[in-house]
Chains A and B, each alone.
Chain A
Amino acid sequence: MSESKPRLIREDGLRVDGRKPEDLRPIRMEIEVLKNANGSALVEYGGTKVIAAVYGPREATPKAVQLPDRAVLRVRYHMAPFSTSEHKSPAPTRREIELSKVIREALEAVVFTDQFPRASIDVFIEVLQADGGTRTAGLTAASLALADAGIPMRDLVAGVAVGKVDGVIVLDINELEDEFGEADMPLGYAAGVGEIVLLQLNGVLTPEEFKKAVELGRRGAERIYAQMKETLHKKYLAILES
C-alpha cells in the first residue's frame, strides 16, 4: 500500500473502473450452493465474493443463551485468510466482531424470531475475496440464505455501500474507493417495507451530502432487492415446472 492517493474520478467524470457514480458493479447471486446448510447463497459484487450459510432453527446450545419468547440469532462475519491482498490472520478481529453485530442487528429487524422460542438461527458469512462492500454483500447473501432456508421474514434486505470519492457521492464502492475515498456509508435496506436496517458512516459528509447518499443508497438497494427476488423466484419456478 502506498500513501499517494490515486485519482478516483477521471476527467470524463467516470470512476476508476469506468462506472458512472450511480452504477452498481456486476452482481451475481446464486442460492442453494451448499448441501449441508439449511439455506445458502453466493453473492458477488464485482470482485467481492461472499458465501453465506444458515443453520436452523435448531436447539440453541448452551441452554444459557436460549430466550424463552424468541429464537436467538447468531451471526458470524468472517474473512478468509486469502481474501485480502496481504494474508489475514483467521482469528476474529475487532472489526469482524463489530460487523457480526451490525449484520445480526440488521437481520433481527426482519426475521420473525418469535415463532421459534428457545431455538437459534445461525448465519455464517465467509468473505472469500474482499474488494469493497464486504459487509453489505454479506448482508445480501445472509438474507438470501435465510429465505433459501425457509425462515419466515417480514422482508428481504439488500446491502450496498455508498461512498464519497473526490467529492462525488458514488454507489457501491470498491476497495480502492473505500481506501482513498472521503466516506464509506454501508446501508442495509428492507426495500419492500421501506425501512433502514443497517446504517453506518465512516467518513465526513455535510448534511446535504448525507441526504443524497442515503437516497442513492436506497435506489441502489432497490435494484439489488429486485435481483434477489428474481433469484429466489427462479428457484421456485424451476421446482414448480419439474
Chain B
Amino acid sequence: MSITPQREPVMPKLRAENIIKMLKKGERVDNRGLHDYRSISVSIGIIGKAEGSALVKLGGTQVIAGVKAELGSPYEDRPNEGVLQVHAEFVPLASPSFEPGPPNEEAIEVARIIDRSLREPRAIELSKLIVQPGRLAWVIYDDVYVIDHDGNILDAGMIASMIALAVTKLPKLDISSEGVKINRDVKETPLPLNTLVTTITMGVLGDILVVDPSLEEESVLDTFISISVDEKGRIVGLQKRGLKSITPKTLDSAVEIALKKGDQVLSFIRKVISSPQEYMKW
C-alpha cells in the first residue's frame, strides 16, 4: 500500500519560503541557474570484483552503480535474449530518512524508471547476450547503491548505471564437455550498446521548471518530472512524480529542456567512457 509520506527533511518555514521566493525570481539558493546541473564527477572501475562500476557524485549526492554478470536462464517469452535486471538500494548510511529493510516504493520506482529507460531504446543489445538459445544467457545485474542523499537520486543513478554498463567487460566463458563455466580471471568483451541514455529530472513549481533539484529543493517542491532521452534525440521514458499536477504547457517546456540538457549530459557520459583511464581514481 502506498501512503502519503512525511515531508523530509523538516526545514524551517523561513528557509522553505525563501527557496520558493528565489525560484520564482529565477534564482537558486546555491547560485545555480534554473536549468543548471550541479557539478558531476565520476570514478570508474572502483569495484574491481564487479564487471563494471561507477561512482557518480552529483553535487552532494553520491551513487555507486555496480554491474555483475552471471549465467542464467533467459525469460520464457524471450528465449533468444539475455536478461537485464536493475535494482536500487537506499541504504541507511545515505540519509537519516532511509531505513534498513527491503526497497521501499521510492527505491523501486527509481530502479524501474532506470530499467525502462535502458530497455525500451534497447540501450543494451540483449539478443547478443544469449549463450544457448532458450537455455543459457547472460544475466546482467545493475545495482544502484545510494551512499549519500542530497537530492535527485534518479539522475545520479541513471548516469552511474549508464557509465558502469558502458565500461562493463564480460568474463570469458570456458566451454567444455562438462558445460559452460565463467572464468572471471579474463574479462574482455564489452557489453553490446546501441545508444547511451540519460534522464533529466526537473522540479515543477507552477510553470517554473527546476533542473536537478537538490535535497532542500526537493523538500519544498512537491512535483517532479523525469524525462529519459537517448542519443538520437528521442524520448525513451518519462515519469511524473509527486503530489501535484503539471499543465500541458509546462510539460511541453519540460520536454524541450530535457532534450537540450540531455544532449549535454550524454556528451559528458561519452567523454568519460571514451577516456576511462582519466576517471579511474577515487
Where the two chains meet, the residues of A that have a C-beta atom closer than 8 Å to any C-beta of B are 1-3, 65, 67, 70-76, 94-95, 97-98, 100-105, 108-110, 113, 120, 183, 185, 190, 193-207, 210-211, 214, 218
- Per a CB cutoff under 8 Å, which of B77, B116, B233, B259 touches A202? B116
Chain B residues whose CB sits within 8 angstroms of the CB of A211 once the complex forms: 252, 255
Q: How far, in whole Å, are A197 and B4 apart by their CA atoms in the complex? A: 16
B248 touches A196 (CB 8 A): yes
- Cα–Cα, bound, A97→B248 (Å): 27
Pairs across A and B, CB under 8 Å, 12 listed: A74-B1, A98-B105, A98-B108, A103-B2, A104-B2, A105-B240, A109-B244, A193-B245, A196-B240, A205-B234, A206-B235, A211-B255
Number of interface residues of B (CB under 8 A): 41
B151-190, CB < 8 A from A: none
Residues of B in contact with A (beta carbons under 8 Å apart): 1-4, 6, 76-80, 105-106, 108-109, 111-112, 116, 120-121, 225, 230, 233-248, 251-252, 255, 259
Given known A3-B78, A199-B246, A202-B116, contact A75–B2 (CB-CB < 8 A):
yes
Complex contact B237–A210 (CB within 8 A): no
**Cβ of B80: which chain A residues have Cβ within 8 Å of it?**
3
Q: Tell me, in angstroms, the Cα distance from A2 to B6 when the chains sit together.
A: 45
The winner among B80, B109, B240, B251 for most chain A CB atoms within 10 A is B240
Contact between B2 and A199 (Cβ–Cβ < 8 Å)?
no
- Inter-chain contact A202/B245, CB cutoff 8 Å: no
Task: Identify which of A97, A120, A202 contacts B2 (C-beta below 8 A).
Answer: A97
Pair A199/B239 contact, Cβ less than 8 Å:
yes
Question: A75 touching B1 by the CB < 8 A rule?
Answer: yes
Q: Are B108 and A94 in contact (CB under 8 A)?
A: yes
Chain A residue with minimal CB distance to B122? A204
Distance from A35 Cβ to chain B, minimum over Cβ atoms (Å): 22
